[in-house]
Each structure stands twice: as structure tokens, then as C-alpha cells.
Amino acid sequence: MTGTLAGRTGTFLLQDAGTVQDNIVSGDWFVIPGSGTGTLAGLRGTGGFRANLGEGAQVHLDYWFE
């Protein structure tokens, strides 16, 4: 990911795993430790997504900085 989070700019990587069941796609992700660059260095977090197949998803990321 590239962008600004909490007024900090940089990049970070997410690792995710998901499933599709009964036309619902869902998954969980976490920030790969040590992947934050710029002022996003030290970023940690977990989150996920859920949506009907082929539609926009509800996404969330709970994050903190070490």
C-alpha cells in the first residue's frame, strides 16, 4: 500500500487470506512487521474485509505504531 495514514506518508505491505462461501467474499489481513517505509515505519495492524461477490467491500484496518 502507498499513501497517508494518520498524517504519516509512506508504504507498507499487507498479507491476507480470504474465502468465498455462499457468494460472500471475506478475509483477514495484517501489516507485515518491518514493512513500513517513510514515516509509516513501525506501523503494525490487523484488519479485514467482507462483501457480496462482485460488489464493493466493507474494509477495516486497526493500526498502531511501535
pLDDT single digits (tens) 5-20: 999 999 999 999 999 9
Residue 27: strand pairing partners: 18, 49
Sign of CA dihedral 41, 10, 49, 16: negative
For the whole model, what pTM was predicted? 0.84
For residue 9 the three cell numbers come to 506518508
- CATH, domain range 2-65: 2.40.350.10
State pLDDT tens for residues 49-64: 999 998 999 999 999 9
List strand residue ranges (DSSP E) for 1-66, in order.
2-5, 8-11, 14-21, 24-31, 43-52, 58-65
Give the count of beta carbons closer than 10 Å to the beta carbon of residue 52.
11
